[in-house]
Amino acid sequence: MSGTRGRRRHSDDYVRVSRVERVEAMRLRLLDATLWCIADKGYAATSTNDVVRRAGVSRGALAHHFPTKAALVNAAASQLVAHRAVYFQERLASLTPEERTPAAALEILWSLYEEPECRALTELSIAARHDAELRALMRSWDDTYLEVLLTASTEFFPELAARPDAALLLRSVTALYDGLGLYDLTREDARKKAAEVRGFFTELLTRIEPAIGEHP
């Protein structure tokens, strides 16, 4: 009898875990669909109907997880920022000390901007101009991302992170790349020109790199 109860408890636990996994999988589908819709259609043109169609879920499922479009967008963008952070740190960690240079870090960082779903952040930046709630969210995402870059710099480039202007330097990088991301969406032959700008910026960075140790 006790064995039967034990098996039943095990079965109930399995059902609960499976249900939790299904719920989380549905949530992730909604977040991924949101990013793809925004990247494809822009923020203003993306409706919750578009999201549920792409995710293959019901409107009831969407409302259960995210009662408003703002809540959905915030969750999707926050997850994207978190994934970018993990990817950036893992890629840096995978390099040898000789390979792990500021120039290599810039290349890894730019590769994130080339991901299709990351273009959703560019679309959100454009839309935030006329949306106060979205602007507040953008500031939060930007601050989170800067904190991630500072943490990575402290771990992998301690002398660079020790500079009094380290935060300003990193914010300059993200501002430049944000701008190039927008340029890539709106200009012909953008990739070539963006590569030239990034090459020039990387060269400037390598020029100041020898002076890093001279800062107090």
Q: What pLDDT sits at residue 213?
A: 41
State the CATH number of the domain containing residue 133: 1.10.357.10
Q: Using 50, 70 and 90 to split pLDDT, how confident is the model at 2?
A: low
3-state helix, strand, coil in the chain (%, to 5): 85, 0, 15
Nearest to 72 by CA among 90, 50, 88: 50
pLDDT digits 0-9 by tens, 3-54:
555 555 555 554 455 778 888 889 999 999 999 999 999 999 999 999 999 9
Q: Quote the pTM value.
A: 0.78
pLDDT digits 0-9 by tens, 154-166:
999 998 888 888 8
Q: How far apart are CA 196 and CA 138, in angstroms?
A: 28
Domain extent for 77:
2-214
- State residue 185 phi and psi, 5-degree precision: -80, -20
Rounded to 5°, the CA angle 132-119-133 comes to 10
Q: Which of 1-10, 103-112, 183-192 has the lowest mean pLDDT?
A: 1-10
Domain total of the chain:
1
Most distant CA atoms of the chain, gap in Å: 76
Are the beta carbons of 77 and 136 closer than 8 angstroms? no
